[in-house]
Amino acid sequence: MSGYVRRAWMVAWKDVLSERRSKESLNALVFFSLLLLFVFQFALGPERTRVEAALPGLLWLAFILSGLLAFGRAFLIERENDCWEGLVLSPGDKSAIYLGKLAGNLLVMLVVEVVLLVLFAVFFALDFTPALPALAAVLALGTLGLAAVGTLFGAITAQVRAREVLLPVLLLPAVVPVLLASVSATQTALSGQPLAEAAQWLKLLAAADLVYLVVGVLTFEFVLEG
Amino acid sequence: MAARALGWLAVLALIAGLGAAFGYAPREVVQGNVRRIMCLLLPGVLTALLAFAVVFVGRVGYVLTEGQVWDRLALAAAEPGVLFTGITIVSGSIWGKPTWGTWWTWDARLTSTAVLFLVYVGYLLLRGMVDDPDRRARVAAVVGILGAANIPIVHFSVKWWRALHQPSTILGPEPSPIAAPIAATLLVNWIAFTLLFAYLLAARMQIARLEDTHAG
Amino acid sequence: MIAAGPVPARGPTAPLPASDFMIQAGRLRKTYGPATVLEDVSLELGAGQGVTLLGANGAGKTTLLRIFATLLRPTSGSLRIAGVDAVREPEAVRRAIGMVGHGSWVYEELTALENLRFWAGMGGHDASRERLRDALEQVELGGSAGRRARTFSAGMKRRLALARVLLGRARLLLLDEPFTGLDRAGRKWLGEFLLAFKARGGALVVATHSFDAGVGVADRIAILSGGRIVLDRDAAQLGHEDLRRLYDELAMGPGSAA
């Protein structure tokens, strides 16, 4: 395994292992998802049709809010015991660390999204199964975009004073395209139409993901340096 | 001193531009006087885009050379950039009220610009929160680069999302249907705005340089 | 460049050819806005040498150490590590640097073994189980290899950090308050470890406010006060008592900052 891939792998391995053992973030996120469900229900009122109509938006709202929490926490682990220093001083291209963190974040988001879908299905008596493959594709592309920017900005705000406020302030405007595209494509998927109908949105998502990844990989070492 | 001269030039051009907008350009038949606000809107948009392009250049320059001057350039451009975007949005809103009946619509151009505005406000907020000048410049550079790279993506996503705004008359592929006097007015205003931007840029850079040497 | 292969131990007073300098710091200055943390700091350190930075808290020891580690950039001044300009090319020198800072770089949820495996992997070093266990044995953490670091005392975390350093191929060791949290036996162990490191040709910078332990490993003593080096002498040239007196005067007197 080349040094670069190995380092990215080590970072992802370390994060997943730590999270699996402490379960801090995951527990909080899952519980948060549950809470969101109730909040949505109370905000929208008892009519089921309203929820169904707003469903794509609600889903992505939930994903983004969870993402904000997850990305904010991703680099906190490095602040304990000054591990951040160790990462800065480790030799080689620092973007490997970015990719490793990204992988970890993607995994967390994936788990949260699956949980949310299950919760939505249970609480709002919805059936996602016919739309699953299409939904999975949209989720994959959209989450990649969210996480690519979220990991980068999470690293930036981890060392800043008002980080809880700053991360949303920076992240939300930046992921507007991802939100627009993902919601539209999700709409298509959920309404049973073939995914080809949403082709332009998917292409936009793919292009955006590529751009964000490239920017992240190229600029991460600047963010890491103290 | 060059900045001063620029400043005066900008003021003159602005006066000329405003005069042209309200005196010289003929009243447009359907939209009346409000059309003249357009003369502020379009140049505003173009200058805002110019500002963000300059921010992007400054950011990349900083990333490549780590020279403080690039960081100052980016900061100096971002603040007027935010200002011009603000002007664009407000004048767009004013234009919109009589035309569409509301202060705000989620039309493509306006929304895109608003998103851009939010991105750069966030950028400035971030700058305010990092004390170490080295780190501040680096981190701001990263946010700025992503913001700039996002511009076309935002543009297309919002455009597709909403097809309300009239087809682009300047940036579209069809020949521009704008009459000559209006075109001249727009041109003068655009030059005025650009000069104003250049003046603000130069002045802000000077201040930034003084700030840095004072602190360092 | 430092010669490859085993380097003979050098005495503290032997003259050093220029290429053997591990650290060449010239007029380093570090400011944070209006506050000046380091002023006009110059220091030279050769291979096989150890310098102990003494000073009260707030005197600038940690800042200086972090500049040597290329974690911080000096506001002005020059720094060469192993002959390379460390300010311009920090990446080039990082492989040669091992550091035990305030934090021990320990991930709480990982076991001692896993922690080492991570840092070895990040450093690009061979991380076979045997080597990792061996390193843990050397710092007397062999029995705790499978325990999560969350359960470790501060001293144990320190030792884990030293095991991490052992796995690397550092030629310059930077240690910030390494003796804190160690008991008597631990301090003795660390002292021996550092002397052995020097004997192998490594260079050492120890920052501490703990006088006795710090002096034991040093060939040179530098006292930092208020961001300046107020004393830089060969340890051999000063008697223990004189040094102590000087230290109390210089470091604890006008220099003891907030």
Q: How far apart are CA A145 and CA A150, in angstroms?
A: 8
Tell if the CB–CB gap between B216 and C31 is shorter than 8 Å. Answer: yes
**Mutation target vs C (from B132, B138, B211; most C CBs, 10 A cutoff):** B132
Q: Is the pLDDT of residue C7 over 60?
A: no
Name subunits touching A (3+ CB pairs < 8 A): B, C
Of C97, C107, C122, the CB nearest to A7: C122
Res B94: pLDDT: 63
Among the listed ranges A29-38, A48-57, A207-216, B1-10, which one has the minimum average pLDDT value? B1-10
The answer to whether C182 and C155 are in contact (CB under 8 A) is yes
Res C168: pLDDT: 83
Please count the residue pairs, one from chain A and one from chain C, whose beta carbons lie less than 8 angstroms apart: 76
Among the listed ranges A7-11, A193-197, C80-84, which one has the minimum average pLDDT value? A193-197
Q: Residue C104 has which token pair?
A: 């021990």
Q: Would an 8 Å CB–CB cutoff place B129 in contact with chain A?
A: yes
Cβ-Cβ contacts under 8 Å, A152 against chain B: 142, 146
Q: Is the pLDDT of residue C34 over 60?
A: yes
Tell if the CB–CB gap between C34 and B215 is shorter than 8 Å. Answer: yes
C95 to chain A: closest CA residue? A91
Name subunits touching C (3+ CB pairs < 8 A): A, B
Taking residue B84's Cβ as centre, other Cβ atoms within 10 Å add up to 26
Phi, psi for residue B201 in degrees, rounded to 5? -60, -50
Cβ-Cβ contacts under 8 Å, C34 against chain B: 215
The DSSP symbol for A125 reads T
Q: How far apart are CA C62 and CA A202, in angstroms?
A: 51
Cβ-Cβ contacts under 8 Å, B148 against chain A: none
Q: Would an 8 Å CB–CB cutoff place A26 in contact with chain C?
A: no
Q: Residue A80 has which token pair?
A: 């304990």
* Average pLDDT in chain B: 66
Compute CA distances B144 → A213, B78, B131, B198, whole Å.
15, 9, 18, 20
Query: In chain B, how long is the greatest CA-to-CA distance?
Result: 59
* Average pLDDT in chain A: 90
Q: Would an 8 Å CB–CB cutoff place B213 in contact with chain C?
A: no
**Mutation target vs A (from C71, C97, C109, C156; most A CBs, 10 A cutoff):** C109
A42-78: per-residue pLDDT in tens? Answer: 888 878 788 888 899 999 999 999 999 999 989 988 9
First to last CA, chain A: 29
Better-predicted residue by pLDDT, A10 or A50: A10
Of C70, C91, C118, the CB nearest to A14: C118
Res B11: pLDDT: 66
Please count the residue pairs, one from chain A and one from chain B, whose beta carbons lie less than 8 angstroms apart: 86
C59-85: per-residue pLDDT in tens? Answer: 788 999 999 999 988 888 999 998 889
Res B31: pLDDT: 47
Res A16: pLDDT: 93
Q: Would an 8 Å CB–CB cutoff place A87 in contact with chain B?
A: no
Compute CA distances B161 → A38, A178, A184, B204, C122, whole Å.
29, 12, 8, 37, 44
Q: How far apart are CA C173 and CA C184, in angstroms?
A: 22
B149 to chain A: closest CA residue? A211
Tell if the CB–CB gap between A173 and B119 is shorter than 8 Å. Answer: yes
The answer to whether C28 and C54 are in contact (CB under 8 A) is no
Cβ-Cβ contacts under 8 Å, B135 against chain C: none
B143-200: per-residue pLDDT in tens? Answer: 888 888 888 888 888 888 775 334 443 343 333 344 455 555 566 666 666 666 666 7
In three-state form (DSSP H/G/I as H, E/B as E, the rest C), the secondary structure along chain B is: CHHHHHHHHHHHHHHHHHHHHHHHCCCECCCECHHHHHHHHHHHHHHHHHHHHHHHHHHHHHHHHCCHHHHHHHHHHHHHHHHHHHHHHHHHHHHHHHHHCCCCCCCHHHHHHHHHHHHHHHHHHHHHHCCCHHHHHHHHHHHHHHHHHHHHHHHHHHHHHCCCCCCCCCCCCCCCCCCHHHHHHHHHHHHHHHHHHHHHHHHHHHHHHHHHHHHC
Nearest C-alpha neighbor of A15 from the set A1, A26, A30: A26
B102-134: per-residue pLDDT in tens? Answer: 556 666 666 777 888 888 788 888 888 887 777
Res C10: pLDDT: 39
Among the listed ranges A136-150, B173-187, C140-154, which one has the minimum average pLDDT value? B173-187
The answer to whether A12 and A4 are in contact (CB under 8 A) is no
Cβ-Cβ contacts under 8 Å, A208 against chain B: 150, 153, 157
Pick the CATH number of B2-170+177-215 from 3.30.750, 2.50.20, 1.20.120, 1.10.10: 1.20.120
Q: Hey, which residues does A16 pair with through a beta bridge?
A: none
Q: How far apart are CA A180 and CA A95, in angstroms?
A: 28
Cβ-Cβ contacts under 8 Å, A204 against chain B: 153, 156-157, 160
The answer to whether C158 and C9 are in contact (CB under 8 A) is no
Phi, psi for residue C217 in degrees, rounded to 5? -100, 0
CB proximity under 8 Å: A 79-138 to C: 80-83, 85-92
Percent of chain A with pLDDT strictly greater than 70: 99
C203-224: per-residue pLDDT in tens? Answer: 999 998 777 777 778 888 888 8
Q: Hey, which residues does C222 pair with through a beta bridge?
A: C53, C232
The answer to whether B73 and B58 are in contact (CB under 8 A) is yes
Q: Would an 8 Å CB–CB cutoff place A219 in contact with chain B?
A: yes
Q: Residue A102 has which token pair?
A: 């990204």
First to last CA, chain B: 25
Cβ-Cβ contacts under 8 Å, A181 against chain B: 157
**Domain boundary assignment for chain A:** 2-225
Res A26: pLDDT: 85
Tell if the CB–CB gap between A81 and C107 is shorter than 8 Å. Answer: yes
Please count the residue pairs, one from chain B and one from chain C, whose beta carbons lie less than 8 angstroms apart: 8
User: Global pTM?
Assistant: 0.79
Tell if the CB–CB gap between B215 and C73 is shorter than 8 Å. Answer: no
CA distance C66 to chain A (A): 10
Tell if the CB–CB gap between A219 and B139 is shorter than 8 Å. Answer: no
pLDDT band at B63 (very low <50, low <70, confident <90, very high): low
Cβ-Cβ contacts under 8 Å, A16 against chain C: none
Cβ-Cβ contacts under 8 Å, A222 against chain B: 63, 138-139, 141-142
